[in-house]
Amino acid sequence: MYFLELGGEDDAFAIREAESAAADVRSVAPGLAVANTVVPERVHGLAYTHRASALLGRTDADLASATVLLEAAPIDRSGTVAVRATDVHGSTGVATDRAERELGQVLVDRGFEVDLEDPDHILRVAFSEGRLECDENGRGDLLSAPDDEGDEPRGERVSVCALGWLAAESVRDFGTRAPTDKPFFQPGSMDPLLARAVANVAGARPGATILDPMCGTGGVLVEAGLVGADVVGTDAQAKMARGARTNLEHFLEPDEPSPTGAERGSWHVGRGDATRLPIADDAVDGVVFDAPYGRQSKIDTHRLEDLVSGALAETRRVASRAVVVADRSWAAEAREAGWELEAAFERRVHRSLTRYVLVLE
Ligand SMILES: C[S@@+](CC[C@H](N)C(=O)[O-])C[C@H]1O[C@@H](n2cnc3c(N)ncnc32)[C@H](O)[C@@H]1O
């Protein structure tokens, strides 16, 4: 059993992404989940999971309980150790430096030597308190509107401290791919964290082919390619197809190895209409697209509704899984195109923009 330290503000979505790297993922407290198994190489490529640790045990979110747990836990390793503690979202008020010292002392009393610089093993200790927004399967019912102010808070109250040996960490290099720092930038580009997460949910991994039929600057394709997927993109605008090529060349063809450890995938981008894809039936494993927003003008000959419906039908023809990101829920159009809605997430970006993420099978 492992515990996962989640990032971002939406645990249900983080858990959905973590399922691309772990089996049987369940939420246990805000920012924390457990999983039966993890694939370390895939954890390296996750956006909204920071770490996976082999679970030693779980107790209440206070230092005394964590100390008792660590004193009694069976430990089958040798070598030097360091303890790293975190108070998730500052929710518990536990002093993490004190927790690191006291739990480190427990390990010293059990015969370990501490090496803070380069330890053989890192003990992760995560304290979290709050309400569980997800159901027991880790899925959030995020299609319903958030609580109005004054409503009773939802979810069961929990207080958790998870202890475990660090097994894998994700590579936090997303800042190096901020949309404005890419060789080709256009307003409306997807930020690399969300792009990586939706690529992972769509099935990006070595050996898989991921298509973005409205690829814009290629944000999703870059992230899918960096975790090893072969990527294919089209865009109706020649300028976008050219710009996406520039970005893909820059990020998927450098000399140095990929920081996630995966070999970068191959890439192909051309000008094309998402409602009439020049791609054979069932030729790709997953599709991701970021539909133009209502206020974006360059939709060529299509009304936005026709464009999205047409693209949903075409993606259904070429793939059996899709992730759609948009400024409204296109769930009805997706069902009409023959998709089943597997999960849906709402993320409020700012006052006037909510992002909808639909996972379609
Ligand atoms: C929201 S943007 C995609 C942004 C992209 N995810 C990125 O990170 O840059 C939507 C894109 O859809 C493209 N588009 C509009 N109509 C299209 C169509 N019929 N076929 C293909 N692409 C289309 C636009 O040119 C635009 O680049």
pLDDT in tens, 25-61: 999 999 999 999 999 999 999 999 999 999 999 999 9
* Identical topology for domains 2-169 and 174-360: no
More confident residue, 335 or 265: 335
Residue 252 contacts residue 267 (beta carbons within 8 Å): yes
User: Within 10 A of 75 (CB to CB), how many other CB atoms are there?
Assistant: 15
pLDDT tens column, 52-103: 999 999 999 999 999 999 999 999 999 999 999 999 999 999 999 999 999 9
pLDDT of 146 > 90? The answer is no
Mean of pLDDT values over 134-154: 49
Confidence of residue 287 (pLDDT cuts 50, 70, 90): very high
CATH of domain 174-360: 3.40.50.150
pLDDT tens column, 338-349: 999 999 999 777
Burial class of 73 by CB neighbour count within 10 A (0 to 12, 13 to 18, 19+): middle
Residue 214 contacts residue 234 (beta carbons within 8 Å): yes
Confidence of residue 295 (pLDDT cuts 50, 70, 90): low
Percent of the chain scoring above 90 in pLDDT: 82
CB-ligand 1 contact for 292 (6 Å cutoff)? yes
Partner residues linked to 122 by β-bridges:
82
Mean of pLDDT values over 113-129: 97
Is 2-169 a domain of CATH 3.40.140.10? no
pLDDT of 140 > 50? The answer is no
Q: Which helix (H) or strand (E) holds 3?
A: strand 2-6
pLDDT (0 to 100) of residue 137: 52
**Which of 202, 154, 165 has the alpha carbon at shortest distance from 17?**
202
Residues 6 or more apart whose Cβ sits within 8 Å of residue 212: 218, 220, 221, 224, 231, 232, 233, 234, 287, 288, 289, 290
Phi, psi angle pair for 102, to nearest 5°: -70, -40
Confidence of residue 208 (pLDDT cuts 50, 70, 90): very high
CA–CA gap between residue 334 and residue 228 (Å, rounded): 28
pLDDT of 361 > 50? The answer is yes
CA–CA gap between residue 97 and residue 95 (Å, rounded): 6
pLDDT (0 to 100) of residue 152: 58
Provide the 3-class DSSP secondary structure of residue 149.
coil
Let me know how long the chain is: 361
pLDDT (0 to 100) of residue 134: 57
pLDDT of 297 > 50? The answer is no
DSSP state of 330: -
Pairing of strands 267-271, 230-235: parallel
Residue whose tokens read 């070598």: 79
Ligand 1 atom 15: the closest Cα is on which residue?
Answer: 299
Distance 140 CA to ligand 1 centre (A): 29
Confidence of residue 8 (pLDDT cuts 50, 70, 90): confident
Number of the ligand 1 atom closest to the C-alpha atom of 240 = 27
Number of the ligand 1 atom closest to the C-alpha atom of 217 = 9
Mean of pLDDT values over 215-233: 97
Mean of pLDDT values over 215-239: 97
Distance of CA 182 to the CA centre of its chain: 21
Mean pLDDT, all residues of the chain: 92
CA–CA gap between residue 263 and residue 252 (Å, rounded): 9
16's tokens = 């959905």
Mean of pLDDT values over 99-113: 98
Residues 6 or more apart whose Cβ sits within 8 Å of residue 172: 50
pLDDT (0 to 100) of residue 142: 37
Residue 45 contacts residue 260 (beta carbons within 8 Å): yes
Residues 6 or more apart whose Cβ sits within 8 Å of residue 302: 275, 310
Ligand 1 atom 4: the closest Cα is on which residue?
Answer: 216
Number of the ligand 1 atom closest to the C-alpha atom of 215 = 5
Domain limits, the chain: 2-169, 174-360
pLDDT of 6 > 60? The answer is yes
Percent of the chain scoring above 70 in pLDDT: 92
Mean of pLDDT values over 189-207: 96
pLDDT of 135 > 60? The answer is no
Cα angle: 266, vertex 268, 270; to 5 degrees: 170
pLDDT (0 to 100) of residue 236: 95
CB-ligand 1 contact for 188 (6 Å cutoff)? yes
pLDDT of 201 > 90? The answer is yes
pLDDT (0 to 100) of residue 5: 98
Partner residues linked to 17 by β-bridges:
none
Extended strands (E) in 32-120: 32-35, 37-38, 49-59, 80-87, 113-114
329's tokens = 């829920």
Distance 85 CA to ligand 1 centre (A): 43
pLDDT tens column, 11-22: 999 999 999 999
